[in-house]
């Protein structure tokens, strides 16, 4: 009898996990800029405007798409920008939903990439007994990461509950913010770089996987190829890092990252620009890897606007 209870309990956990994993991915797979929800079926998008999608991780979320659209409209440029940044995004993750991007027919896709997208994963080493006694969650997490050979935040980038609720809300009433559908665009406080150094643990990047056969590079190749096969122009750019991150990264690894992107530029004949060190010393950050969503940090958005106009022209 006890074995049956244990089996049913484990089965319930397994079924729940599968449902959560499916619901977490559901939103990004069914996203449609024309969808305003079951409760707003009469609302329409301007079909005359061509679409530009910005894709990448949460480091791109501070690109203010509403500001970009206002400026493009003022200049009578018939394009509309959607910031589709998603938490913990990387090429292997984005590849899973690239068909949805294609189905929504953008003219141009700006893809922001960072060297941390290609970081070689190494599970942290702990002394098992003290870790289990004082922090069992850390030990369990570490063992799962060793088993999966990748960080758990790649599989669960945000709370499963949060993502499931996001999917349900989207089905009922569309995206909370039309031009920022995947991560809530709310204003954040700028924190001085010196203060960030004091309150955050150091993170060191000493090895990347950027050779032609590494899985993230292969996924990037597939994304670019699929977009180009559908006559969608691709623009690659490196997203910004603070000096805290850059100082804790091996110089030769940054150079390898730059070289890899230049190889993609040549291989696929795409536009490329670098921003990873442009704002590194500016006090515009909310943490070591994210520029704050704040009117005082508009420089990042303005640089993207400049590149958009340059590509369109």
Q: 3-state SS of the chain?
A: CHHHHHHHHHHHHHHHHHHHHHHHHHHHHHCCCCCCCHHHCCCCCCCCCEEEEEECCHHHCCCCHHHHHHHHHHCCCCEEEEECCCCCCCHHHHHCCHHHHHHCCCCEEEEEECHHHHECCCCCCCCHHHHHHHCHHHHHHHHHHHHHCCCHHHHCCCCHHHHHHHHHHHHHHCCCCCCCCCCCCCCCCCCCHHHHHHHCCCCCECCECCCCCCHHHHHHHHHHHHHHHCCCEEEEEECCCCHHHHHCECHHHHHHHHHHHHHHHHHHCCEEEECCCCCCCCCCECCCCCECCCHHHHHHHHHHHHHHHHHHC
Q: Which of 136, 50, 60, 76 is nearest to 297 (CA)?
A: 60
Tokens found for residue 180 = 């920022």
Handedness of CA 45, 46, 48, 54 (dihedral sign): negative
pLDDT of 130-145, one tens digit each? 544 455 555 444 544 3
Cα–Cα distance list, 68 to 73, 301, 302, 306 (Å): 9, 7, 8, 10
Task: Give pLDDT < 50 ranges for the chain.
Answer: 1, 126-127, 129, 131-133, 139-141, 143-157
Tokens found for residue 40 = 């707003």
In angstroms, the CA 70 to CA 77 distance is 10
DSSP strand pairing (233-238 vs 271-274):
parallel
Total-model pTM: 0.83
Q: What is the pLDDT of residue 200?
A: 78
Q: What is the pLDDT of residue 85?
A: 94
Going across the sheet that includes 108-113, the strands are 79-83, 50-55, 108-113, 233-238, 271-274
Tokens found for residue 156 = 């669960």
In angstroms, the CA 187 to CA 195 distance is 19
Question: Per-domain residue ranges for the chain?
Answer: 33-121+178-312
Q: What is the pLDDT of residue 159?
A: 57
Q: What is the pLDDT of residue 152?
A: 41
Instruction: Indicate the CATH number for domain 33-121+178-312.
Output: 3.40.50.1110
């Amino acid at each position: 009898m006890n074995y049956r209870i244990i089996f049913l309990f484990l089965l319930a956990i397994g079924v729940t996990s599968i449902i959560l994993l499916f619901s977490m991915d559901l939103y990004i797979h069914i996203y449609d800029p024309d969808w305003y929800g079951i409760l707003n079926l009469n609302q329409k998008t301007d079909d005359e405007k061509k679409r530009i999608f910005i894709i990448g991780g949460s480091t791109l979320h501070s690109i203010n798409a509403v500001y970009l659209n206002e400026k493009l409209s003022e200049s009578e440029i018939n394009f509309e920008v959607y910031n589709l940044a998603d938490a913990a995004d990387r090429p292997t993750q984005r590849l899973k939903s690239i068909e949805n991007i294609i189905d929504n027919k953008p003219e141009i896709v700006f893809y922001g990439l960072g060297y941390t997208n290609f970081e070689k994963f190494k599970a942290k080493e702990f002394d098992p007994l003290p870790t289990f006694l004082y922090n069992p969650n850390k030990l369990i997490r570490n063992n799962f990461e060793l088993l999966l050979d990748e960080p758990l935040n790649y599989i669960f980038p945000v709370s499963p509950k949060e993502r499931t609720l996001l999917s349900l809300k989207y089905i009922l009433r569309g995206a909370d913010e039309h031009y920022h559908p995947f991560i809530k665009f709310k204003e954040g406080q700028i924190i001085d770089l010196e203060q960030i150094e004091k309150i955050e643990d150091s993170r060191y990047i000493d090895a990347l996987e950027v050779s032609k056969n590494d899985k993230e590079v292969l996924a990037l190749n597939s994304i670019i190829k699929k977009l180009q096969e559908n006559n969608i122009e691709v623009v690659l750019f490196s997203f910004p890092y603070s000096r805290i991150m850059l100082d804790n990264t091996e110089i030769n690894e940054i150079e390898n990252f730059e070289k890899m992107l230049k190889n993609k530029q040549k291989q696929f004949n795409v536009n490329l620009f670098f921003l990873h060190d442009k704002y590194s010393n500016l006090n515009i950050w909310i943490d070591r890897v994210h520029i704050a969503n704040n009117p005082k940090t508009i420089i990042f958005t303005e640089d993207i606007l400049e590149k958009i106009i340059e590509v369109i022209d």
